Amino acid sequence: MNQRPARRPAPRPPEGTPAPAELARMARSRLAGAARVAHWADAALGPGSDGATADGKATLSDASAERASEDLGLTVAQVLADWDTARLAGLVEVHGDSARPGWRLRAWDRDDSAVLRGWVALFDAWSLAHPEPAEFEPAAVAEVVSAMPQVLSFLQLSAGPVPVEQLLDLLGQRVTELRTERCEVPYDTEHGTGTAKPLAALRSADAAQADRAAAEDPAPADEAELAPLLDWSLHALASVGALTYGDGQATLTPLGSWAVWVKLEQICVAAQSPAGNIEVAAEEMLRGCAQLRPNAARAEYRAWLAARPVGGAVTELVDAARGEDALLRGLAFEALRVVGAPAEPDVRAVVDEPTLRPYALLWLAEHDGIDPEDAHEVLTREEATWLWVDTAAAVADHGEAPLLVRHLESALQPTVPALLDEVRAVGHPRTVQVLVALAAAHPDPALAKAVRRAAFQVHTGG
């Protein structure tokens, strides 16, 4: 606890990268149409309105699209395109068969980081923002989507225009490597086993199809077949503002160059896991972080998360939070705070689980923009008391006696008798152990006796 881990210096973006405020201005300009339609839907339809969607996938209904077209002075096609972009950028969030304004839309005018995250989400989904032509083979498309991070990294390192012929040669080499890897080293994207090249971490979600494709005898990539796929990929990336494409060459935009640098930096963070927990399961990683200072623990969470698909990582963290160790429960939700918006559906799904409910409500409150110091106000008295007992259990199991005594001072109840009454009422499974530990730790004999009596009453059902 007293050892201060070595800090990795904060990385600096490449020379010539615009300041964050300027990058955010570019992202706002690129997403202006999507933000406009999302704001219109928020005001005209209301969050989750039945009129907003028609197909169970939060696609804007024909009637709503026509209404938006009239109100905004756009064509229906423009409205639908901007709506799809808003969904991909997280300005609109899909929940079941309805849509609602995303947290990024709420923070659009005041939070540059929220805007940049929204654009990066669109950048990650470039193959969905500009779907491939129907005549392309799905397996070939998936291979190219898996290989494009290598191409983007080369563009970023080149820091200028690159001829398409050079990119086509690089793409062919990478596709051939992927085919060979599938034969020699199976990679399970579901469970994180196997070995993958670091640049695979840059893939968009639908690239996982290529990992599952079977190839008995990998054949070298045919550049004639890849050329139209590269052309589609570059047009798609240009459509989201990641690069410019024309006259037989491609160049990353400042936004695109910055985003690729961020992705590569995330891989470096994963490769330099401060405490060496990158390869272990969530529960073991959280135990390893228990002895770290908060900043060092967050760095470890980021490294662990950067090394695996977000969906699987969130599932692991939630499962770890369901365990019996209250300390891991609190740490799991701290790690989920590092995940941010992608974890919201999973956190919202556990709100009705009594063990996780207080943690989930606090996470959601902070996610919605409530100050962390005020977030506890979303809890009922019973939920706050349950959380107090759960936290006390973590202190009793892993902390020292003075910490448990100080924890007593954080209770909402004004007096110890009132606290004991409410603690008995919430029915936390660790109530007896917490009260016994508190009685043993407290220096006041009279108070310790009252706490022991309360523990005995809970134990006997009184």
At 461 the pLDDT is 62
pLDDT at 146: 86
Q: What is the pLDDT of residues 134-184, one digit of tens each?
A: 888 888 888 888 888 888 989 988 888 999 999 998 888 888 888 887 664
Q: What is the pLDDT of residue 197?
A: 36
Q: What is the pLDDT of residue 224?
A: 80
Q: Which two tokens stand for residue 208?
A: 């996982």
Shortest CA distance to 226 belongs to which of 177, 183, 165?
A: 165
Tokens representing residue 432 in the block: 């007896």
Kindly report whether the global pTM for this prediction surpasses the value 0.85.
no
Segments in the chain below pLDDT 70 = 1-11, 46-59, 95-98, 182-221, 266-276, 459-462
Q: What is the pLDDT of residue 271?
A: 53
In the prediction, which pLDDT does 337 show?
Answer: 92
